[in-house]
Amino acid sequence: MNNNRLSPIMLVGTGSDVGKSLIATGLCRIFLQDGYKPAPFKAQNMALNSYATPEGLEIGRAQAVQAEASGIPCSADMNPILLKPSGEHTSQVILNGKPCGNRDAYSYFRKDGKETLRAIAHDAYNRLADSFNPIVIEGAGSISELNLRDGDIVNMSMAAYAGAHVILVADIDRGGVFASAFGSIMLQTPEDRKRIKGIIVNKFRGDLRLFDDGRRIMEDICGVPVLGVVPMAPHIHIDEEDSVALAGKDHHASYDKVNIAVVLLKHISNFTDFNVLERHPQVNLFYASTPEDILDADIVILPGSKNTLSDLLHLRKNGMAKAILSAHDAGKTVIGICGGYQMMGEYVSDPHNIEGDITRLPGLGLLPVKTEMTPAKTTRQVKFHFNNDPQTCNGYEIHMGRTTTDRPFITLADGTCEGCMTHDKCFGSYIHGLLDNQPVIDFILKPYLTAPQSVSFDASTYKEQQYDLLAEWLRTYIDIPRLYEIIHD
């Protein structure tokens, strides 16, 4: 273990989706490889992809991924404030891993009450800093939202509290990289400007030599060094934080693979459930946004949702519900995960208005289950056996609501039963990560493979390999020795 004390490092962005999370993940792995004991931290996250800690608390998926890259279990201290959008202007607020109600965006982002949230974030950071070195902090969105600066708890105010050295991540792929980098720095207060010690230009395409002059120009106008120019890395697969990533996963049919359509819900959550299937050599997985997309599918999956009733109503209005029922009637496989499982039942009721104004809707009627939304939220990691298979599988639950059925087919480690299956091609479960497990993958693909390949996929081993690949990639394109010079106390 390297006992040299490092200052915390913070990755901030010129905007959203510039690659802060990915670079933070890679730096966590680099620090681990170099003998340190890193931990990730993001004071406030807004995302529908979340994860359950070993203690049964809920955090953003990105921080769980960064904890994996750091070689440590995830904890609620790594993301003490999580906002999960549930409507156009409303989010569920998760504090220290536990839901504490819904807030509209206007009231949440006003300055009133921010000191309480700031104290929660600072306390969580302090607990991490007492045990880990260094802390890799991630900001949120752009650091140049001047209208939000007075109430900021996640960007430069957090850097000031932690005494962090700040690295600005700029996305060259979307254009305007000089203006966005220069503007992001110049719009800071003089004190915050001094905290920015370097720039990483991310998502470069083409010959890096073409940016040699650009690098020098950026350093001249911004007054800070460019620590690296990082190319796109499509060969490295790290779980994504936001549904923005789905834009590049459009519908396309394949005639030599099993076509799996994931229904693209308005409030889709935890779409990382399908990453393992997506990489299976005999699978073509795509996201279906129209009824026509489903026509080409062998398997249709209804994913998780942050607002089950709203998404169920939308499926009925846009014709997707009818297309899913037609797929089932045609003998295709239909699977529901979490909110998708709820939608496949007889009805979903919300007598306490947990999700909004809709109190009850009929489900798709594919499974004999009934769901009632309840104030209590289930968040836990689980081990289970799938359909009497002897292999122990792993997953996690994050859901509102209680579902009853007399046809469970999954046995949890504590002996309780879960899920519902009417036949081999129609089932649902609350378990996220269900489709990461080999017995489940083999089961759903078996009807469609005349000559199945022997594919053994260990998701944990694969993830570790990807973290190492990411670390190697960043070492190649970022001046890591210079970065160490910056953050050494």
Among candidate residues 74, 338, 393, 420, the one labeled active-site is 338
pLDDT of residue 455: 62
Rg (CA), the chain: 23
pLDDT of residue 109: 59
281-326 pLDDT, tens per residue?
899 999 999 999 999 999 999 999 999 999 999 999 999 999 999 9
339-379 pLDDT, tens per residue?
999 999 999 999 999 888 899 999 999 999 999 999 889 99
Residue 97: both structure tokens together: 């891993």
59-115 pLDDT, tens per residue?
999 999 999 999 999 999 999 999 988 766 678 899 999 998 777 755 665 666 788
pLDDT of residue 465: 95
Active-site residue, 393 included: no
Give CATH for domain 9-237+465-484: 3.40.50.300
- Over pLDDT 70: what percentage of the chain? 94
Residue 489 has pLDDT above 80, yes or no: no
Residue 176 has pLDDT above 60, yes or no: yes
- Over pLDDT 90: what percentage of the chain? 82
| Structural contact between residues 166 and 159, judged by C-beta atoms closer than 8 angstroms | yes
What mean pLDDT, rounded, does the chain reach? 92
Residue 319: both structure tokens together: 């014709």
Helix boundaries (H) for 409-458: 438-445
Q: What whole-number distance in Å separates Cα of residue 84 and Cα of residue 102?
A: 9
Active-site residue, 399 included: no
Q: What is the DSSP string of 215-236?
A: HHHHHHHHSS-EEEEEE--TT-
Instruction: Output the CA–CA distances (angstroms, integers) from residue 273 to 20, 277, 300, 356, in the order listed.
Output: 22, 8, 14, 26
Residue 247 has pLDDT above 60, yes or no: no
Which CATH architecture group holds 249-453?
A: 3-Layer(aba) Sandwich (3.40)
9-237+465-484 and 249-453 have identical folds: yes
Q: What does pTM read for this prediction?
A: 0.90
Name residues whose C-beta falls within 8 Å of residue 336's C-beta, 6 or more positions apart in sequence: 301, 302, 342, 343, 344, 366, 367, 427, 428, 429
Extended strands (E) in 86-207: 90-95, 98-104, 135-142, 165-171, 196-204
Confidence of residue 266 (pLDDT cuts 50, 70, 90): very high
183-240 pLDDT, tens per residue?
999 999 999 999 999 999 999 999 999 999 999 999 999 999 999 999 999 999 998 7
pLDDT of residue 447: 94
The residue written with tokens 């004190």 in the block is 191
Confidence of residue 456 (pLDDT cuts 50, 70, 90): low
Q: What does the pLDDT average to over 472-483?
A: 98
Q: Taking Cα atoms as reference points, which of 170, 163, 120 lies closest to residue 144? A: 170
Q: What does the pLDDT average to over 11-37?
A: 97
In the chain, where are the structural domains located? 9-237+465-484, 249-453
**89-98, 282-291, 409-418, 456-465: the lowest-pLDDT one:** 456-465
Q: Taking Cα atoms as reference points, which of 393, 426, 433, 423 lies closest to residue 410? A: 393
